[in-house]
Amino acid sequence: MTTNNSSIRRPAVAVACAAVAVLGLTACGGGDKDASDGGTSKLTFTGSGGVTQAAMGVASLKPFAKQFDVSLTEDEPVDIAKLKVMVESKNVSWDVLHTSPFLVDQNCGTLFEPLDTDIIDLSKIPADMVSECAVPVAMSATVLLYDANKYKGDNVPKSWADFFDTKKFPGTRGIAKAAQYGQIEAALLADGVAPDDLYPLDFDRALKKLDGIRDDLVYYETGAQQQQQIESGDVDMLIGWPGRVYAAVQNGADFEPVWEAALYLPDVLAVAKDAKNKDTAMEYINFALTDGPQAAYADELPYAAVNTDVAPPSDAAIDKFAPTQQKIAEYHVLGLNSAWWSKNMSDMTKRWTAWVTR
């Protein structure tokens, strides 16, 4: 609780400084921590819209704005190309971005600000998930999910190998249109590559494995599309995002996750380069990682908390689809290596495009 208190005070100082700056007064080095009233600092949050952004609103954005008297603006969707144009034209209107880590790691320092670890308390966040510019805020995953109305009894897919076995499990398979969402890793694991030897990815071997199911593939670009394809019966199994499949299940679809050797990938928060409200952005990130907001987000949607002190969600339906720390340990869930992808994105995307557009 004491850490919470000190974290509450810092934005107050920032708020006061901003107010003073607005009034054209100088010097803000003082330690008058009670000057929390009056003036409003600003924060622009950009997420991917839909249910995840709504949940962020409930779990951390609105409480943060209320508690620290911050005037909040929300935007969507995250478009890093747009951010690049903003940064180049020196008119950055976004502060905090909620996105996947690939482009953040790749453009750390050029499009994103390094995290201010004086403001952000990382003591409860697994160190291997934090990078210089991106801090995880929720656990997402890439998982094999199958239609339990089609595959029943003992004859259900249990591993990545089953996903690639169209004789034993005939039916359509959903995968991402982009290369970096797990299908390459899944193909290699199915082909017998040991988890420890996964990276650097043997791309040609993976494509060869994918050749075997090419005629049964259906592609999605977004989470919403996964949901639509599940609800319309266009896919029988998919390498998908359990958070979105959970939403389809809420709408009546009957899909089951296979957690064995699934891939986890955290959603991250990052601060835009030259953000107008950089300090408030760092304060917000710190707030979003604390126990309360972490538990609240994990209770809204099956994106598990990254804060190791937070217990698994109480709702069993949500817990089933959430990549919790407990599941990661129990089912040998692997980390999708976003740092490797960031370094090789251009080359891999071109090779993937050559295969997928054939």
Partner 1 sequence: MVVEEHERYDEAVDGVGDPLTLGGSSVTDPVRRALARGVRARPGLTLAPATVFVTLAFLIPIAMLLWRSIADPEFGIHHYSDALQDSSVIRIMTRTFKTAVLVMLLTLILGYPYAYVMTKVGRRMRTTLLTVLLIPFWTSIMARSFAWIAILQNNGVLNAALSAFGLPRVQLLGSETGVLIGMVQVLLPFTVLPLYATLRTIDPSLMNAAEGMGARRWQAFRIVYLPLSVPGVFAAGLLTFVMSLGFYITPDLLGSPSNSLISQLIATRVSTLLDFGSAGALAAILLLATLLAVAVGARLSRGPISNATKDR
Binding region for partner 1 (CB under 8 A): 79-81, 84, 103, 107, 177-178, 217-219, 221, 228-229, 232-234, 345-346, 349-350, 353-354, 356-358
Least CB distance to partner 1 at residue 273 (A)? 13
d(CA 297, CA 46): 17
Smaller CB separation from partner 1, 26 or 357 = 357
d(CA 175, CA 47): 23
**Closest to 338 (Cα-Cα) out of 118, 142, 97, 167:** 142
Smaller CB separation from partner 1, 178 or 193 = 178
DSSP state of 159: S
Least CB distance to partner 1 at residue 46 (A)? 15
Least CB distance to partner 1 at residue 294 (A)? 30
Secondary-structure breakdown of the chain: helix, strand, coil percentages, each rounded to the nearest 5: 45, 20, 40
Least CB distance to partner 1 at residue 96 (A)? 20
Smaller CB separation from partner 1, 90 or 358 = 358
Smaller CB separation from partner 1, 35 or 217 = 217
Least CB distance to partner 1 at residue 18 (A)? 31
Least CB distance to partner 1 at residue 40 (A)? 34
Least CB distance to partner 1 at residue 181 (A)? 11
d(CA 275, CA 77): 17
Kindly compute the dihedral angle of the four CA atoms of residues 36, 41, 46, 52, in this order, to the nearest 10 degrees. Answer: 30
The number of helices, as runs of H, and strands, as runs of E, in the chain is 15, 10
Question: The tokens 């949607």 sit on which residue?
Answer: 301
d(CA 305, CA 267): 10
Smaller CB separation from partner 1, 84 or 320 = 84
Smaller CB separation from partner 1, 14 or 348 = 348
Smaller CB separation from partner 1, 21 or 354 = 354
d(CA 174, CA 102): 22
109-113 long-range contacts, CB within 8 A, separation 24+: 109/133, 109/273, 110/273, 111/80, 111/83, 111/84, 111/87, 111/272, 111/273, 112/270, 112/271, 112/272, 112/273, 113/270, 113/271, 113/272, 113/273, 113/274, 113/275, 113/278, 113/281
Least CB distance to partner 1 at residue 172 (A)? 9
Smaller CB separation from partner 1, 42 or 84 = 84
Least CB distance to partner 1 at residue 213 (A)? 14
Pairing relationship of beta strands 70-75 and 135-147 according to DSSP bridges: unpaired
Which tokens sit at 299? Answer: 């209770």
Smaller CB separation from partner 1, 121 or 234 = 234
Pairing relationship of beta strands 96-99 and 135-147 according to DSSP bridges: unpaired
